[in-house]
Amino acid sequence: MSKYAPPLTITAKMLNLIASISEQLGRVAERENQAQTLGLRRANKIRTIQGSLAIEGNSLSVDQITAVLEGKPVIAPPREVLEVKNALAVYEKFDKYNPQSEADLLEAHQVLMLGLVDELGNYRSGGVGVMSGSQVVHLAPPANQVPRLMADLFAWLKATDHHPLIASAVFHYEFEFIHPFADGNGRMGRLWQSLILAKWNPLFANLPIESLVFAYQAGYYRAISASTEQTDSAPFVEFMLGIIAETLSSQISEALTPTDKQALSQRLESQLELRLESALAAKIMLLLQNEPLSKSELASLLGHKSVSGELNKQVKALLNLAYIEMTIPDKPSSRLQKYRLSKVSVTTTPPI
């Protein structure tokens, strides 16, 4: 048996995110017992499919995918409708797939790509590169190496002692690096990470992680590139853990009543004020939970007539601590500049 181990550096950020995710999973589990769970599961499955396919250029909306699920006619490119039907068919079999089975991976690819590619359920027979416009950003290993590399990857997955949250993300990155199929690698990699997580904790079968990956699509590709450049999957693992934490946070938030949300906001403000030693910094982070905002927008929401020196000071401090980030980091002085929570900070209880 191969003793291959994907290169990975365990970081403090990973461990902090795992702790946050574990805490939030308990809260999501409580919500699973509520009456609206069945409807939420259905909605999440649709959001998951929409997000994963949108990353690959599929234009169908959540409403259109719902119509396909219900057997209603949809006005859209036939190929995109077929992609949705195939994805729905795969997710119908989700619980039957074994994430440690290479045969199941090949079967899932056959279902997912039926009518879309010639090499169904088989590893690619030719070379493949990942393009960004007209530029090749990643040249995958030669086709004759793919069977060995995939066998090594599955052998590692069966034997690894890494936490499933980490192992699933490492598998996802290594899968994308190998790029084993002629087409469908992105959606298969995301599907298999969800499957690995769901076998560890069934709650992950119903979480729309892919919808947030789509929302942060540029970051997703940057994380893959960073891991490849560093020969270390750590950047991608950190990114995916941040996405999972944010997904759980949004699921918890959706289940809160207006009274609960007000109480949570007050509790977070108290916690943040104590940790940041600034009530203004706490308020800034709370305002950025919903959407990116400029300094002038923050000032207006805070009831200030203009951007004060103290507001500038606290924004700068939060940037230095990496609790928030610029939406246009390459142009700090841009008039269009806004600020948002960093990936680590976007959790129900900010890990500060």
Residue 257 to residues 33, 39, 73, 262, 350, Cα–Cα distance (Å): 16, 17, 36, 9, 20
3-class DSSP assignment, residue 340: strand
- Specify the higher pLDDT residue, 346 or 199: 199
pLDDT tens figures, 201-215: 988 887 878 877 887
What's the pLDDT band for 134 if we cut at 50, 70, 90?
low
Give the confidence band of 343 by pLDDT, cuts at 50, 70, 90: low
DSSP line for 187-236 = HHHHHHHHHHHHHH-GGGGG--HHHHHHHTHHHHHHHHHHHHHHT-SHHH
pLDDT tens for 302-337 read: 888 889 988 998 898 888 777 788 988 888 888 889
Look up tokens 């949300």; give the residue: 261
pLDDT, average across residues 228-239:
94
Distance CA(308)–CA(288), nearest Å, equals 18
Locus of tokens 């305002």 = 287
Task: For residues 76 and 83, give the distance between their C-alpha atoms in angstroms, rounded to a whole number.
Answer: 11
pLDDT score, position 240: 93
- Give, in degrees to the nearest 5, the angle at Cα 221 between 172 and 317: 110
Portion of the chain with pLDDT greater than 70, in percent: 83
What was the pLDDT predicted at 44? 76
Q: For residue 195, is pLDDT > 60?
A: yes
Q: Give the tens place of pLDDT for each residue, 8-17.
A: 999 998 998 9
All domains in the chain, ordered by first residue:
12-254 (1.10.3290.10), 258-341 (1.10.10.10)
